[in-house]
């Protein structure tokens, strides 16, 4: 989705760039503003250039603001972003959006780069009483493994579709959920990822007795 609204953009200098796994990148710059874990920023290469939205993928107190993105081969912005180096300039909007976490018990469900808002919530001290279910094709794509594993232990579930590993579920997130005997209808369920993933997961949760008003979704459209 191209965003070119009236929101002010300001320049930032990249202080971090890394390809975390094949096609998945992380870039960062010094934090100069406050945000709430789960919020997004608009990112552009020029002041008036086309913008895309990205979840902030760092903690509220971290010194750097980071984003995690997947390179979309035929896309506009991500191929350009992947060529950037530290010292390069990026134009960003103020943080916005209301997909924000709280201290209530909840289940966080994501696929791919949809993990970003939950990692931000985890780094912002909201991991207590949370269960995290993540989906990826390959094992190497479960970024931030150590932090999720240390803080959540058994409540950190990796669903991997193309590789197997001890401790990881083999299959998609939706399959994992469908196989669960019981899901707690009193918990809140936060979903983040592509439209397809969110809609399918929401349908499964509802079919397993979760009231629809306990489900909050963020779609990377």
Ligand X SMILES: Cc1cc2nc3c(=O)[nH]c(=O)nc-3n(C[C@H](O)[C@H](O)[C@H](O)COP(=O)(O)OP(=O)(O)OC[C@H]3O[C@@H](n4cnc5c(N)ncnc54)[C@H](O)[C@@H]3O)c2cc1C
Judged by beta carbon distances under 5 to 8 A according to partner kind, the member of ligand X, other proteins, none in contact with residue 22 is none
**Bridge-partner residues for 12, per DSSP?**
90
Phi/psi at 196 (5° precision): -60, -45
Rule CB under 6 A: is residue 70 a binding residue for ligand X?
Answer: yes
Rule CB under 8 A: is residue 74 a binding residue for other proteins?
Answer: no
Which among 67-75, 82-90, 95-103, 148-156 is the span making contact with other proteins, rule CB under 8 A? 95-103
Q: How far is CA 42 from the centre of its chain?
A: 15
Pattern 25-44, binding to ligand X, x per CB under 6 A?
A: ---------------x----
With CA atoms as reference, report the closest residue to 219 among 211, 79, 44, 202: 202
Q: Count the alpha carbons within 13 Å of 14 in the hemisphere toward its beta carbon.
A: 20
Q: How far apart are CA 174 and CA 197, in angstroms?
A: 8
- Identified binder of ligand X from the candidate list 29, 35, 69, 176, rule CB under 6 A: 69
State whether residue 145 is helix, strand or coil: helix
CB 80 to ligand X: min, Å: 8
Q: Which residues bind other proteins (CB under 8 A)?
A: 1-7, 40, 51, 53, 96-99, 194-196, 198-199, 202-203, 206-207, 211-213, 215-219, 221
């Amino acid at each position: 989705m191209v965003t070119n609204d009236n929101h002010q953009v300001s320049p930032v200098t990249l202080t971090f760039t890394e390809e975390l796994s094949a096609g998945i990148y992380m870039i960062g710059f010094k934090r100069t503003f406050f945000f709430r874990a789960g919020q997004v920023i608009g990112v552009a290469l020029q002041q008036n250039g086309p913008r895309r939205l990205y979840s902030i993928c760092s903690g509220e107190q971290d010194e750097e603001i980071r984003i995690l993105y997947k390179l979309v081969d035929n896309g506009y912005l991500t191929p350009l972003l992947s060529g950037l180096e530290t010292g390069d300039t990026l134009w960003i909007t103020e943080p916005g959006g209301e997909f924000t976490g709280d201290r209530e018990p909840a289940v966080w469900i994501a696929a791919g780069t949809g993990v970003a808002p939950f990692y931000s919530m985890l780094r912002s001290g909201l991991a207590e009483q949370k269960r995290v279910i993540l989906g990826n094709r390959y094992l190497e794509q479960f970024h931030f493994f150590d932090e999720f594993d240390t803080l959540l232990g058994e409540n950190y579930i990796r669903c991997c579709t193309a590789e197997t590993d001890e401790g990881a579920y083999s299959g998609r997130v939706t399959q994992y959920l469908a196989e669960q005997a019981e899901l707690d209808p009193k918990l809140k369920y936060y979903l983040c990822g592509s439209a397809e993933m969110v809609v399918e997961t929401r349908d499964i949760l509802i079919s397993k007795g979760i009231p629809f008003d306990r489900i909050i979704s963020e779609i990377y459209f």
